[in-house]
Amino acid sequence: MLKGKHLIDPMDLSLEQLDQIFNLADDIIKNPKDYMEVCKGKILATLFYEPSTRTRLSFESAMHRLGGSVVGFSSAGSSSAAKGESVADTVKTIACYADICAMRHPKEGAPKVASLKSDIPVINAGDGGHQHPTQTLTDLLTIRSLKGRLNDFTIGLCGDLKFGRTVHSLIKALSRYSNIKFILISPEELKIPDYIKEEVLIKKDIQFKEVERIEEVIGELDILYMTRVQRERFFNEEDYVRLKDSYILDKKKLKNAKQDMIVLHPLPRVNEISVEIDDDPRACYFKQVKYGMFVRMALIMKLLGVEK
């Protein structure tokens, strides 16, 4: 039963609940007209203290496509946070206006704090360098739809694995499926945090290796998950400039990849995927964007407890 729950961490959802969400998303994709009014009279609040294109607008499109309404703000500066209001007070206020909210915040743990004070479901739409569970739902639905399974594959995660919240959430979520091998591709300075390695990969005896060059491993991969080196997470510009072009996926690198490998990216990209490969059938990151909206439609329905 998902009605009334918060979604803060990908592990808040059991495998059975994930399946329920993905099955509902599949049905929404097939029969969108059946869902056009299911959230009529319901309001989603989008509380975004940090910039976003996909997450905020896909949540908003999702609610509109379900027949509901949306209120919210897209930056801390346009809310009373600018006057010093706490996240707890903001969410208590929003709960008087809306039925469900999605919150993005630069501080790790802010959506969790909000959920402790909220009478309505709070969805973590990305908290600092920590977690991004709805991106993970997007990634899992994309993989399930395009590869037909969520087990038995080798996935390469490439780029900023240190600050990349999408990667942290995806590893946690995939660690519950069988026979997944992780290849972690990053420069030394942007390696996956020890807590993910120790508490997830080593603890669960999951196969993984860490490498620095994409060329070494691209031929082994069923999925290549690229990420951006995130300027906003660096403490100094010098380190960012030195590392920002560590990986650029282009036609030459893709030559040695399997024909049925898929390339995913949570987006936005800067230049880590050359636009020259956008037309390659393996480039699936814009399909991934669309799955993100459908899976958020399914999630909103489940957390609100509304049915077709």
Q: Which residues are catalytic?
A: 54-55, 83, 104, 132
Closest CA to 50 of 70, 30, 73: 73
Residue with Cβ nearer ligand CP (217 or 267) = 267
Name the minimum Å distance from CB 157 to ligand CP.
15
Write out the binding residues for ligand CP, residues 215-244 only, by CB under 6 A: none
Write out the binding residues for ligand CP, residues 105-144 only, by CB under 6 A: 126, 135
Residue with Cβ nearer ligand CP (54 or 64) = 54
Name the minimum Å distance from CB 246 to ligand CP.
20
Q: Which residue has the tokens 């490498």?
A: 211
Helix, strand, coil % in the chain, rounded to nearest 5: 45, 15, 40
- Torsion over CA: 206, 273, 233, 61 (sign): negative
Cα dist from 227 to 167, 270, 279, whole Å: 8, 9, 19
* Residue span 21-40 as binding mask against ligand CP, x where in contact by CB under 6 A, dash where not: --------------------
d(CA 101, CA 115): 10
| Number of residues engaging ligand CP in binding (CB under 6 A) | 9
Q: Rule CB under 6 A: is residue 53 a binding residue for ligand CP?
A: yes
CB neighbours of 276 closer than 8 A, spacing ≥ 6? 250, 251
Q: Rule CB under 6 A: is residue 201 a binding residue for ligand CP?
A: no
Closest CA to 171 of 211, 145, 199: 199
CB contact at 8 A, 292 and 65: no
Q: Rule CB under 6 A: is residue 267 a binding residue for ligand CP?
A: yes
* Residue span 268-307 as binding mask against ligand CP, x where in contact by CB under 6 A, dash where not: x---------------------------------------
Q: Which two tokens stand for residue 148?
A: 């037909």
Residue with Cβ nearer ligand CP (95 or 142) = 142
Q: Rule CB under 6 A: is residue 47 a binding residue for ligand CP?
A: no
Among 17, 29, 54, 71, binds ligand CP (CB under 6 A): 54
Tell me, what DSSP letter sits at residue 12?
G
Among 55, 118, 124, 142, binds ligand CP (CB under 6 A): 55
CB contact at 8 A, 165 and 126: yes
Give phi and psi for 41, each to the nearest 5.
Answer: 90, -10
Among 46, 52, 131, 246, binds ligand CP (CB under 6 A): 52
Tell me, what DSSP letter sits at residue 7?
B
Residue with Cβ nearer ligand CP (55 or 154) = 55
Catalog residues that contact ligand CP under the rule CB under 6 A: 52-55, 126, 135, 266-268
